[in-house]
Each structure stands twice: as structure tokens, then as C-alpha cells.
Structure 1
Amino acid sequence: MSKGYGGDYTGGQGQYGNEYRGGYPQQTYGQQQYGQPPYSQQQEMTQANPDNIKGFFDEVSSISDLIRQIKSNISRIDEFHSRSLGIISEDEATKRQLDSIITETRQLLVQVKDRIKKIEVSNFKASPADQTVRKQQTGNLRQKFMDTLQDYQKVEFQNRQKFRERMERQYKIVKPNATQEEIDSALDNDDGGQIFAQSLMNSTRYGAAKDALQEVQKRHDDIKKIEKTIEELANLFQEMQIIVEAQDTQVAQIEENATQIQNDTEQGVVHVEKALESARAARKKKWYCMFIAIVLLAILAAVIYIYVIKPMLKKKGDGAQ
């Protein structure tokens, strides 16, 4: 991921004012009360432990608050860019305010991504009874975050296009007969300012052309910053997609293992039942064999008595007479 994300942040949550001066909203963004840490750091210090179900819901609520703050920041960034189109130069304080809100938003995005990853990991340690609700809540949170990333990308794409169209108009002031190819070359190259400066020297409308050159140089820097943000957002979105795919793979593996365990258990039950049936059949055969043996012994005893013992007793009786 681009180095722009996860960098140190020295600003903080500002108080959004509604007064305007010079086309920009006057605010104290990037400042906080003495001793109060920045908003993103406050949220880091209030992270809940997602390993238990109460901590899990507390963490989901906290991350949802962060996403709402990011959405608010995106609206502010869009507002700054829109108002920037109306003026040629802006004071350093305004630039610092915009840079501050962009930096904080970057840090909040990284923090949300990391905390979602953390609760994804904790879900695998949860009890089976909590698995369903955890997966549902985490999935909703993850989708909400990815939608926010796409919203931010959309805002930056739109602003880049607006800045580019503005630069095209300014270039035509410097060089009215410029072709689209010349304009694209001047806007896309890092040395576009030199191309504009060269055209300025050949322009018959020096005053207007000089102002146009000044604005073009500023817009070119703005576009570069926007393109950097777009690249960072694309990298972050791709990372979230990788996380989703990894989680899906792990879930599929767990479900496959669970299915295999269930199949093995069912097969084990079948084997046990077969063993019990075999044992019962063996015991039944044993009783049959014992019964037959007893009957045979009884028959044998009767035969011996009738044909051996009884005649002997009869002979003894006859001899005694």
C-alpha cells in the first residue's frame, strides 16, 4: 500500500464552523483543546476487546463511529475542492486545513481497516453460538467501509476531472489555437508548467495569460495530490478485497473441516451401531448354542437313564428277590 497511509498524524479533530471568508469555510480543523489527543488517537485508545461478545459489539459500534467520521471528512474535502475552483490563490492556513483533514482521513481509514481485521481474527476464536451474529455484523461493517472507500474515490475522481477541465480552459486563454493533444501533453506531464510558460511568452494576452499560468500551476499540484489519494484508496480497497478473499477461504476451510468431522462422526455412529448389532447377534447365537447344549445334555441324560441306569436298577431288584 502507498506510504501515504499510516503516516504520523499531528492534527486532530476540528470544530466545523459555518462562517465563510474568502470562499472557504473558516474552521479550527486540525486543532483540539489543550491536552486533548487527536480524534483518531482518541478512538485508538478506546478500542474494545472483541474476544468476548460484549467487547465485540462495543468494537463494532466504535468502528461504525469512525466510518461516520470518515464520511463527514470526505464531505469536507469535497467542499474544500469545490470552493477552491472559485479562487486562484488560497492562503497557507486554508492549505494546512485541507492537508490536515486529508491526513486524518488517511489515518482513520487505516485504523478502521486494521480494527476490522482484528475482529475478523477474533471471530474464529468465538463460541459456535456467537459465530452467526459475529459473521453477520462483521460482514455488514466491512461492506460499509468498502462502500465508503468507493465513495471517497468517486469524489476524488470527480474533483480531478473538474480541475482538469479548468486547466484546459486556462491553457486555451494562454494559447487559443492549442490542439487537444497539446493540452493533454501539458496537463499530463510533470513539466507542464514549463510548457505553459513557453506558451505564455508567445501569447498576445500577457496579463490574462499570466493569471492563467499561475492558476494552472496550482491546479497541477492539486491534481497530483488528488491522484495520490486515488492511488492510495485503490490500494486500500484492494487490500480489503484480499482480506475478504482470505476470510472466505478460511471460512470455507472451516466449513469443509466441520463437514468432514460431521461425516466422520456419522460414519463412526454407523460403525458403532454395526458393532452393537454384531455384539447382539453374537450374544443371541451364544444363547442359542447354550440352549441347544442344554437340550442335548437333557436328551443324553434321559437316554442314559432309560437305557443304562434303569435296566441296571431293575436287575438289582430281581436279584434281591
Structure 2
Amino acid sequence: MRNLLTVCTAAVLASCCLCVSLACGFPSSLLVSRMGSWFAFALKIKAVRDSFELGKREQAPGNVDIELGLQGDLTSSAQPGFEGFYEQVKEIENLLNTLTKLLKDLQNSNEESKVVTKASAMKEVKKRMEKDVNEVTKIARLAKSKAEQLNKDNAANREKPGFGKGSGVDRSRTTTTVALTKKLRERILEFQTLREEIQKEYRDVVERRVFTVTGERADEETIDKLIETGDGEQIFQRAIQEQGRGRVLDTLQEIQERHDTVKEIERKLLDLQQIFLDLAVLVEAHGEMLDNIETQVTGAVEHIQTGTNLLQKAKKLQKNSRKWTCIGIIILLIIILIVILSLKPWSWGLYLLVSWEIDNTEAVVSEQAEGRISCIIALTILLILANKRKLLDLQQVSRTPLFIPVQGEMLDNIEMW
């Protein structure tokens, strides 16, 4: 649309200039050549501008870090101030993903344990859950040590010139480190939540088992004692006497296995509590800095959004103004063309040419007339002078008496002449 308006405007301008030049008597060939030169120059300017804009578009904005001035597709080892940083971040992220997978496995095992009624099946569930919990503890400690090492590397990097506290590199490293530490802390908190759920569900399962075996609902003290010790033989003493030891033994073993499993998981998951507290301290150490960074990031996002809206609005206004400007130019050129056609200036040129020819003719005629009059006057003067000379000669002759008759005859001839 923009190119079409430009071409139309140029065509109308060229037409108007051609009409005006013809009306004023300018050579059309010279005008056409000049217009061709101008048009070629305009095309060159447009080509240079288009190539410049294309070069800017070819620069991928997503690959440039505006704050740091770094190309996003470069490796961390090639970025000043980030040597080995992103590799460490990637390792911590992998550990977080592993913790997420283990959390889901533990949740599934816990759901499976709710429907298990045999001691052998409970042993299998216990074995899997203990293995997963051991892996969780190991990975959580490793992730914590890597997060602490990353924090130490950030402190060491601040000692380097150009990467001090508050610099773009330091803000980026600190934000990433604190974000990873928070994620690790949240993941460990999810394991703590799972531990509490296992304890609550274990109590519910024990209550159901007691009710199933005895047919009576046990009081809170009895359930607490059974959960604490896992020894249900005294509680089920009456059921053993009524139903026999063999029928109640499986339930007793299943409750004991469940008790052992819950206690082991609780003990190992409590180890994560210390890791959780250490990570909380690590986050609090950077709490003020993080809040400041988050505030700056939030403000930057708001400013960027506001700037984007303003740029879009300005672009829209510019587009509308360009459109109306082109329309105004076209209307103005049409008005000028109508005025030129109504005044017919080319007829003025013909009239001026005829007037000039007439004036030239009159001047020539007047000059010729003046020349003829001058010739007549000159001839008259010459004749007068000639006659005067002849009269003088006759006077001299008249003074001689011998030639009176001849003089009389000459006088007669002169009078006749």
C-alpha cells in the first residue's frame, strides 16, 4: 500500500510538472531527461534504505540480550562473566527434574500402599519407597551443594573488574541462582508435604484395619499407641481368641510393615528438613537483593509494555498521517491540474508569440518608413543644392553682356524646368 501510494504520487507530480513545463515553453526532452535522472536517484535511495532495513530485520531480536549486549546463541564460555555458569545451572535443573520424577514415584507408591492388605505386598512397596527416599536425600544434598557453590562463584565473580555488585552480569547471575534455590526449596517442601500426607493416611489405614478385624472403632489413644509401636497383638487379643491367630496374623504383619515403612520414610524425609532450612537461609541472604531485582524486573516489564503500546500507537498514527498526507497531496495536485486546464496557459504562449510578431513587423515597417523619408529628404536637399549652384552660375553668366541672348534662352529654359 505504501509503495503504491508513492508511485501514484510520483506519477501525478510528473504529469503536473510536464504540463507546466509545456505551458511555459520549456523543452520537453530536457524535462524528461531531468525527470528520469531524479527518478533513478530516488530508486537508488530507496534501494539503500530497503537494504538497511532488511539488515536490521535479519538481526534476530530474540538472540540478543539487550541488557548485557550479548548474543543469546553464544555458549556460556564465550560470554564474559558467565564462564561455566550456565553449565552449573543446567546441572541443577537436571537434579530438579530428577527430584520431580522421584516425587511422583513416591506419590504413586503411597497410593498403592492404601489398597495393600498383605504383608508381602507391603514389603515390596516399602522397598521401592525406601529406595526412592534414599535417592531423594542424595540428590537434594547434591543440589544444595551445587547451589552453594554457584553462590560462591557469584561472589568471586563480583571481584572481577566490570562485574561488580549491581552490574548487569551480577544481576543476571544472582537472579538465576536465587530462582534455582527457590525451586529446590519448593521441591523439598513438597516432599515434606508428602511425609505429612503419608502419616495422616497411615492413621486412616490403621483405623480401618482395627475396625475390620475387631468390628469396633478404637479410641484415639489406642490408635496412637498402635501407630507409635506397631504392635497390635494386644489390641487384637480378643479377635485372636475369637477368630484364631492365623486369620489375624496377616493383618498384624501388614500393620507392622506399614509402621516400619512410615517410620523409615519419616526419618529420611526429616533429613530433608535440614536441607530445606539451609536453603531458606541461603535465599534469605539474598532476599533484599532479590526483592530489589524483582522490583526492577517488574518495573522494566511495565515500562517495556508501556513503551510497546506507545510504539504501536505511534506507528498507527504515523501510518494514518502518511495516508492522509498522500491523499492531501493528490487532492492538491488534482486542484492544480484543474486550475491549469481551466486557465489554458498554452494559449497565452500563442497570443504572446503573435503579439511579438506583430510588434516586430510594425517596428520593421516603421524603420523602413523612416528610411524612405530620410532618403526623400536627402534627395530633396541634393536637388536644392544643385539648383542653387546652377543659379549661382547663371548669375555669373548674366554679368557678361556678350551672352545676353544665350542667357535669356537659358533663363527661359530654367523657368520651363
Q: What TM-score range do you get, normalising by the shorter chain?
A: 0.5 to 0.7
Q: Which has the higher contact order (CA 8 A, sep 6+)?
A: 2
What is the CA distance between 1:182 and its match in structure 2? 3.7
Q: Deviations over 1:7-49 (max 9, x none)?
A: xxxxxxxxxxxxxxxxxxxxxxxxxxxxxxxxxxxxxxxxx9x
Q: Deviations over 1:268-319 (max 9, x none)?
A: xxxxxxxxxxxxxxxxxxxxxxxxxxxxxxxxxxxxxxxxxxxxxxxxxxxx
1:81 to 90, 95, 110: 110
- Look up the equivalent residue of 1:115 and give its one-letter code: K
2:258 to 216, 219, 225: 219
Change (3 A) 1:239 1:203: farther
Partner SS for 1:189: helix
Matching of residue 108 in structure 1 with residue 139 in structure 2: yes
Change (3 A) 1:72 1:245: same
Could you tell me which residue of structure 2 aligns to residue 163 of structure 1? 202
- Look up the equivalent residue of 1:221 and give its one-letter code: D
Bigger radius of gyration: 2
Give the 5 Å matches for 1:103-252: 103-126=134-157, 127-128=163-164, 129=167, 130-190=169-229, 192-196=231-235, 198-204=237-243, 208-248=247-287
TM-score (norm 1): 0.55
Partner SS for 1:238: helix
CA–CA distance in 2 between the matches of 1:90 and 1:191?
A: 17
Partner SS for 1:177: coil
Matching of residue 62 in structure 1 with residue 110 in structure 2: no
Partner SS for 1:54: coil
Worse overlay, 102-111 or 213-222? 213-222
Change (3 A) 1:108 1:56: same
Could you tell me which residue of structure 1 aligns to residue 62 of structure 2? none
Could you tell me which residue of structure 2 aligns to residue 99 of structure 1? 130
- Look up the equivalent residue of 2:265 and give its one-letter code: I
Aligned-residue CA RMSD in angstroms? 2.9
- Look up the equivalent residue of 2:226 and give its one-letter code: L
What is the CA distance between 1:173 and its match in structure 2? 2.7
Q: Deviations over 1:218-268 (max 9, x none)?
A: 21112212321342222221121222334559x79xxxxxxxxxxxxxxxx
Worse overlay, 170-179 or 77-86? 170-179
Identity of aligned residues (%): 21
Does structure 2 retain, via aligned residues, the 8 Å contact 1:77–1:101? yes
Could you tell me which residue of structure 1 aligns to residue 326 of structure 2? none
Q: Deviations over 1:31-72 (max 9, x none)?
A: xxxxxxxxxxxxxxxxx9xx9513111111110111011100
Change (3 A) 1:80 1:191: closer
- Look up the equivalent residue of 1:66 and give its one-letter code: L
CA–CA distance in 1 between the matches of 2:181 and 2:280?
A: 10
CA–CA distance in 2 between the matches of 1:160 and 1:107?
A: 22
TM-score (norm 2): 0.44
> Which structure carries more helix by proportion?
2
Does structure 2 retain, via aligned residues, the 8 Å contact 1:123–1:135? yes
CA–CA distance in 2 between the matches of 1:188 and 1:99?
A: 19
Could you tell me which residue of structure 2 aligns to residue 36 of structure 1? none
Q: Unaligned 5+ residue runs, structure 1?
A: 1-47, 253-321
- Count of residues in correspondence between the two structures: 202
Partner SS for 2:229: coil
Could you tell me which residue of structure 2 aligns to residue 271 of structure 1? none
Partner SS for 2:256: helix
Could you tell me which residue of structure 2 aligns to residue 289 of structure 1? none
Q: Unaligned 5+ residue runs, structure 2?
A: 1-76, 158-162, 291-417
- Look up the equivalent residue of 2:139 and give its one-letter code: L
Partner SS for 1:179: coil
Q: Deviations over 1:166-207 (max 9, x none)?
A: 111111233333532343333342253443454543454756
- Look up the equivalent residue of 1:100 and give its one-letter code: K
CA–CA distance in 1 between the matches of 2:132 and 2:202?
A: 20
